[in-house]
Structure 1
Amino acid sequence: MPLFKEKFDWQQFKISLAFGLPLVIGGLASWGLNIMDRLFLRHFSTYTELGIYSITMSVAIVVTIFSGIFNTIWSPMVYKWMSEDKFDYEQIDIVLEYMLAAIYFFIVLTSLFSWIIPYFLPSAYSEIEYLIAVCLLGPLLYTLSEVTGIGIAIVRRTKFSMLCAIVAMLTSAILNYFLVRKLGAAVSTATAFFVFLP
């Protein structure tokens, strides 16, 4: 078979491993960052508070869907610019400015109109109006990190992306441990996602 006659390229394998392995570890750390709040809430809080927080995060998932769409389009678009020799770091700055403005206005509008949410939910979940704006910060800051972090992928320094994810996960764990009973998991998670920004 021709497959077994091909010589294995160890040099290319090492290059691919150096690029891909940090992404795998960073992905696991990002997963840890996303679930850390619920782990600490389950341990240090009541199931009622965990339920309210989980419902709030479910409402915030709507933003995550739009973030996912942007993240799916953003990287291929940058690589297309590079292949066509149209890439300029100023393009990233322009997109970053628009993204910051969009996030700012979205959080402000959500804060202004969050009082409407309890009308659509049972009275037991009325506290969601106070949590929703902070819970939205996590997915929105993650989208912002996709804009700023594309430079790491371009220069093939994925270990920095891995380090950002690990530091953010550890920050989330430490903040949740100390703050989950006072300020809540939402503040800890939002702060950890801010740390995640490369």
Structure 2
Amino acid sequence: MNTNKLVNRFKLTSDMILSPNIKQGILYGASIALMKGVSLLILPFVANHLSTEEFGRLEVISTIAVIGSILVGMGLEDTLFRFAGSEKSALKRRNTAAEIFTLTLIIAFFTLLGGWYLAPLLTPYFPGGPSVYEVRILLSVLALEGAIAVPLGWLRMNDRALSFFFSTTGRALIQSLLVVIFVMSDRGVTGILEAGLIAGLLQALLLIVLQLRDCGLKFNQQTSKRAFIYSLPIVASGLVAFGLNGMDRWVLAEQATLTDVAQFGIAAKFALAMVLLMQPFGMWWSPRRFEVLNSDDGKQKVAKYIVLGTVIALLITVVVALISPALIYWLLPATYHQAAQYVVAIALIMLLKELVELYNIGCFNGETTSSQLIINVVSTIIGISLMLWLTPLYQVWAVIFSLLMAQLIRLVLFYQVSQHFLSLAYPIHSLLLLSLLSALWLLVGAQVTGLALSLLVLVCAVVSLLLVAQQLKLISLPNTLLNKVAST
């Protein structure tokens, strides 16, 4: 009898600790960690088999996928969250999802067909010197991305983190395995692109089957029109934002060298860990933010979650910025060590981008998203102007400075405009104090060399940030955990 009571008490305790939201977050976190962790693990392998010039060419060619995914995706994942997520009825939600997915498949079909025949005409205009075959591979992958993004969004909306986990990590594992095989077979940059196409095709087929089983296909002209009106500013702003996420490689390739592109690209891949580690929170929060906003005390709850996300973002940025330089020296060939000089500054750029995603909710809380288009136009014009002016003189550092200024302007403008449309009460002074402490730790870390010392500074930084965030009432740590941390 006592044994049964003990088992029941353990089950109750575990259910309290692992709430549904925490379980979802763990699965999303594991999927992101495995999906991107595998690609980071094979990064040293790729770097050892590609020269800096080849790696730079791969970086420049890959930016074609950035601008293409904006066009093909049509912002339909955000449209799914906005319109299907706002439906109270489960049936209406499925119908809306089916209509948006059908529109996605139509766009994917015409992209695949048109891209295949237009590739010879487009190839001469792309930087990096890609072949017609490589451009066709890229455009084929892009055609699949819309059919992948919307079903993944649907899985997130319905808390099906396990299906999300197997889909994303499966693609990452298959792609990484194929990259190793193709690179060892001397396929080079072309082989890496082929690996991406095969893995993307397998993931798309799986997700299409799941989506069809859940919702089926439906075409509705009115829904398509609403989706087009809502997503058009998203697409336009995405194209404009390409100037801050892609144009940097193009400018470096034109004004500097492909080796500089490679160094910048390596630093950006390590700094991207900041964005990746934020994904579990973002993937949980993004589909639910409008649902929470429309609930009782919705504005207070939304502000609370955004503050929590800000604290998490600051912690992750400090972790990534302090450990990445040591990892670059430890894992990569000496020809790539210059990237360690850039990684902290690029991590700050990633932080500003993530903060924009947290604080821009007011700009999306309506039938249109034109405000974000205006903001992105202004910040991108400033960023590109600075890049074109300064890069011939200061190369990589000019690009980094330009991106920092542009992203800072984006954050300020998005915050102000979002507050105009949806006023939320944030503890601004407390957040600024925590940000200042984070910056101080980054300055300390910049003076540290060696992996062991970097880890020690990292532990001290994380502990102090958690304690200060607790004292400022930005987060609420469990008393038992707080006592343990304070006693270390």
- TM-score, scaled relative to structure 1: 0.80
Q: Is residue 372 of structure 2 the alignment partner of residue 161 of structure 1? A: yes
Q: Map 1:168-179 onto structure 2 (within 5 A).
A: 168-179=379-390
State the distance in 1 between where 2:283 and 2:322 align: 30
Query: Which structure has the bigger radius of gyration?
Result: 2
**Is contact 2:324-2:343 (8 Å) kept?**
yes
- Alignment match of 1:30 (pick from 222, 241, 266): 241
1:17-38 CA distances to partner (integer Å, 9 max, x unpaired)? 5433212211211233201211
Structure with higher RCO (Cα < 8 A, 6+ apart): 1
State the distance in 2 between where 1:26 and 1:86 align: 31
Q: Is residue 42 of structure 2 the alignment partner of residue 42 of structure 1? A: no
State the shift of 1:48 in Å: 1.5
Q: Which amino acid aligns with 1:165?
A: N
SS at match of 1:85: coil
Alignment gaps of 5+ in structure 1: 1-7
Equivalent in the alignment of 1:93:
303
Q: Is residue 329 of structure 2 the alignment partner of residue 139 of structure 1? A: no
State the distance in 2 between where 1:128 and 1:13 align: 45
State the distance in 2 between where 1:169 and 1:82 align: 30
State the distance in 2 between where 1:63 and 1:164 align: 24
Equivalent in the alignment of 1:3:
none
State the distance in 2 between where 1:63 and 1:162 align: 25
Alignment gaps of 5+ in structure 2: 1-220, 415-488
Q: Which amino acid aligns with 1:133?
A: V
Equivalent in the alignment of 2:39:
none
Q: Map 1:75-86 onto structure 2 (within 5 A).
A: 75-86=286-297
Q: Map 1:6-85 onto structure 2 (within 5 A).
A: 18-85=229-296
State the distance in 1 between where 2:354 and 2:367 align: 20
Q: Which amino acid aligns with 2:303?
A: D
1:40-92 CA distances to partner (integer Å, 9 max, x unpaired)? 1111112221111111112223333334444433232112213433411x334
State the distance in 2 between where 1:82 and 1:91 align: 7
State the distance in 1 between where 2:266 and 2:364 align: 34
**Is contact 1:67-1:140 (8 Å) kept?**
no
Q: Which amino acid aligns with 1:57?
A: A
Q: Which amino acid aligns with 2:255?
A: F
State the shift of 1:132 in Å: 0.8
State the shift of 1:186 in Å: 1.8
Q: Which amino acid aligns with 2:253?
A: R
State the distance in 2 between where 1:62 and 1:111 align: 10
State the distance in 2 between where 1:111 and 1:174 align: 27
Q: Is residue 338 of structure 2 the alignment partner of residue 127 of structure 1? A: yes
Alpha carbons of 1:108 and 1:60: their partners in 2 closer, same or farther (altered >3 Å)? closer
State the distance in 1 between where 2:347 and 2:228 align: 34
**Is contact 2:349-2:404 (8 Å) kept?**
yes
Q: What number of residue pairs does the alignment pair up?
A: 189
**Is contact 1:33-1:172 (8 Å) kept?**
yes
Sequence identity of aligned pairs in percent? 22
Equivalent in the alignment of 1:196:
410
Equivalent in the alignment of 1:105:
315
**Is contact 1:145-1:196 (8 Å) kept?**
yes
CA RMSD in angstroms, aligned pairs only: 2.7
SS at match of 1:184: helix
Alpha carbons of 1:114 and 1:62: their partners in 2 closer, same or farther (altered >3 Å)? closer
State the distance in 1 between where 2:244 and 2:387 align: 11
- Alignment match of 1:187 (pick from 380, 388, 401): 401
State the distance in 1 between where 2:342 and 2:275 align: 16
